Chains A and B, each alone.
Chain A
């Protein structure tokens, strides 16, 4: 054949490897050459989220190319499972308990206050990148209801009024961290 190559695979593969990094690319490469590459999709997504903290559109596309599973399928799976985060995680992860005990003690009002203060809803990250908000069903601390956690800190008997105070202490911590760096 006398014509020059119109194949763009090396370019597409190179970009995908760059997005995910060599270690993940090698792992996915192993999955791809085995039987039923698509059956490894969930495990691959776990690993990618473990590395980046979330699954962005570019990560998902790169997974699709390197695993050779259609991008729509990858995105469909990632958006179906509650565990996968499609947006970057903030510096702090807020988890407000909406289990029965917390709920009857007013967790819904706490949750609403959090959404109002941060301007986001569950599964989202505040525009300044400081907070991500999640809701969970019972964290096993019903005696302290209503409860919210910020990373590993547990805040007990939270009222809507206390929400801004709690948030402020993490904002201060973020400011200190920024100054130091």
Chain B
């Protein structure tokens, strides 16, 4: 285990150290102490390492992550895991807005709640939230899966494309062109796999699936009122 005290090492030196780890590194376990809400912690990683941040983080922790596993033992600031490509981010506390924005792949797990615009413009990432999510989540979501074990706020999935949403609790309102969908066997299997990967014990049959009604895919003036 390599331990970095961020208050002593500084952001640049710490990220540089993590960026220098290659695919064959044997220093796979890293611990960052004294994060104190700093921004851009462990962003741009591209190696199969596991980084544990002992405390809360600011903006864009683990942004654009590739391969790495990043554990946040605290709450996470805005844009955590933005544009994640692969790997895994696990947040023990709550996540602020724009969690996993535009994420292309990998998985983000939130043990607490996630704020507004969770999964905005998601492009393939899988996000599993044990608690609730805020308004405008998965706005313009293109692909990937958003799993919510609690409730979803207003305008879930507004103007979404092919992303899928599974919500166990209530949805305050659906966004434009987002509708309730049939939960078929294939979706139950998919959801079970996502919950297992996230390490969350929940029954897939208790969830409802939502997704695009696909009525806004090509511009039609008769739909102008929907925007």
Question: Do A and B truly interact?
Answer: no
B residues contacting A by CB (< 8 A) are none
Q: Interface of A with B (CB < 8 Å)?
A: none
